Chain A
């Protein structure tokens, strides 16, 4: 098995919660990410799914070095990312990019599109202006836009086109991993399909990896090769996409599937087995974090945190049922 491109090991991010205005005493921690193990391989798409408060945004920030982990490591190409300095750090920034959810605030309003796309190139390379413009044109074509649109400003484009520009920008510097943070969630249905097809095509062509973060199961399952399900800062299940859809093992994953909207009015409707809402990460439940809402909870679940096990081939789950 080839080495993973990006590897997260025992990753933890705790945010301190302070009270008082002057002395700011610490009264607790928000355990946003609490022991996450993930690996992304070259040319694959790993889907990360979960509801609000599960920690997927924090995970993304950790990968993008916008936050430093409290514990655990992030390795890119085998190297610990927190030790990177200088040129090695720039190399990482060059090879790992992100596309955010909101197409209307991702592009600098007063810069021409060509400059926006070319900016990473300007930062990381010494290309001449001519070479830069050529590369920008190349990337624009890759995402299905005419090269001469480079001289226009962002506000002259629609939401879907802006996301294409954002993707072009993410690809400009021979990127190897793109974090797609709810990148298609704000788009109209038909445009979403266009962008997803485009992303898949780009992956085939360029062998770029994606970390696809989303909340819509069908969308994430469609584009991902493997899916990781997160709940309250932990990964509860990790499996191949089709395998997960055929046989979700963790009760939370099963709940997500039950809650997912049907694709057809004739689909048989199941009653949702879980109730209530996601508890606060400030005071997560003891033992298995899902136990208060789990329909299959056993006494053991409140006491002992389940360990991740390989319940089936390449199918990892953290649950006492297995």
Chain B
């Protein structure tokens, strides 16, 4: 499958107080996404996953800037684009779905107007074909009686419905990539399940690639082909979801997997000691070392390099530099 997005050594920094404080929100992130693929960008608050996505679509707040690296999308270099050019890409070729559907929808406009807008502006669809387009989109996200629902307003719909409308808007421009940032966090469990099914169907039918940003490993297990685990602005491990769930190589990934409660099991949860790091004052060497059970002296001194530990599988940890037959931690995650 063709390569769609290649992020290489992306660095995005936040500067505040007139340059006196620099926060390296994204510090050397590299990953690749192919057409039709779903990658999960996993991490806890402050790890840089949202900033990475905002960097890709060019929607960084004024205090943040991309200071290094490349973002190649569909053959074009996004970091070199001017704001006007990015506006043509956003909504048309890359779309975003955000967490709060009520905030994503304009309360003053009907569903029809909001879903039609991307098609109207980017693809110049008009009149009857536009109405048909909206109907098709609403059907694709499984909203019953789309003709009727089109004329309604956001406040007349439930949270789950609204999030589907947001999905329809995202698809309206015919994008090749959708970035979904925690889209189901505010939804009930059964509604979330239905919504994820809808996303999967859309993907299957249209072949759109998906970046799923979440802190919930369950969603990754259900939706994603590949996953990248982020910590303190870096990707500490990335690979296929199966590989990582079966035998993750980075201690942080293992810890995350171990801290998930599993249905029907009362086994004590593994709790990572300590707190997520303060990005303004990162530890030396590997940012995870203060909380890592395997920390070695080298981890305090030197930042580990990103090295390959398998097919399309990379981890940033000094442990991988040693004998890869260390299966002491592999069995615990299965």
Chain A residues packing against B (C-beta within 8 Å): 51-52, 158-161, 188-194, 196-197, 200, 215-219, 221-223, 241-242, 245-246, 255-267, 269, 271-272, 274-275, 277-278
Contact = CB atoms under 8 A, between A and B. Distances in A.
24 contacts: A51-B189, A51-B191, A52-B159, A161-B275, A190-B259, A190-B271, A193-B269, A193-B271, A197-B268, A197-B269, A218-B262, A219-B261, A222-B269, A223-B261, A241-B266, A242-B266, A245-B263, A246-B264, A259-B194, A260-B218, A261-B218, A264-B334, A267-B221, A272-B194
A160 B275 contact: yes
Interface of B: 44-45, 158-161, 188-194, 197, 215-219, 221-222, 241-242, 245, 255-256, 259-266, 268-273, 275-276, 334
Contacts of B188: 51-52, 215, 278
B222 A217 contact: no
A218 B263 contact: yes
A272 B193 contact: yes
A189 to B, nearest CB: 6
Given A197-B271, A221-B264, A222-B261, 11 more contacts: A188-B44, A190-B271, A190-B276, A193-B261, A193-B270, A196-B269, A222-B266, A256-B190, A260-B218, A263-B263, A265-B222
Contacts of A260: 189, 193, 218, 263
Contacts of A264: 221, 245, 334
Q: In the complex, which of the residues B44, B219, B271 has the most CB atoms of chain A within 10 Å of its own CB atom?
A: B271
Contacts of B160: 277
Nearest to B275: A158
Given A197-B269, A277-B158, A189 B190 contact: no
A121 B81 CA distance: 61
Contact of A194 (B215, B217, B272): B272
Contacts of B334: 264
B186 to A, nearest CB: 10
A224 to B, nearest CB: 10
A55 to B, nearest CB: 14
Contact of A188 (B45, B222, B245): B45
B222 A190 contact: no
Q: In the complex, which of the residues A215, A218, A242 has the most CB atoms of chain B within 10 Å of its own CB atom?
A: A218
A258 B193 contact: yes
B329 to A, nearest CB: 16
A251 to B, nearest CB: 12
B242 A221 contact: no
A269 B200 CA distance: 13
B278 to A, nearest CB: 9
Contacts of A196: 261, 269, 271
Contacts of B217: 189, 263
A131 B215 CA distance: 43
Contacts of B273: 194
B191 A277 contact: yes
Q: In the complex, which of the residues B158, B216, B219, B242 has the most CB atoms of chain A within 10 Å of its own CB atom?
A: B158
B262 A263 contact: yes
Q: In the complex, which of the residues A194, A246, A269, A274 has the most CB atoms of chain B within 10 Å of its own CB atom?
A: A194
Contacts of B161: 277
B194 A193 contact: no
A193 B259 contact: yes
Given A222-B269, A263-B260, A216 B189 contact: yes
Given A193-B270, A218-B261, A269 B194 contact: no
Contacts of A267: 221
Contacts of A215: 188-189
A255 B255 CA distance: 29
A262 B261 contact: no
A222 B273 CA distance: 20
A218 B193 contact: no
Contacts of A272: 190, 193-194, 197
A189 B44 contact: yes
A261 B219 CA distance: 6
A271 B272 CA distance: 34
A278 B161 CA distance: 12
A90 to B, nearest CB: 36
B257 to A, nearest CB: 9
B189 A189 contact: no
B41 to A, nearest CB: 14
A190 B261 contact: no
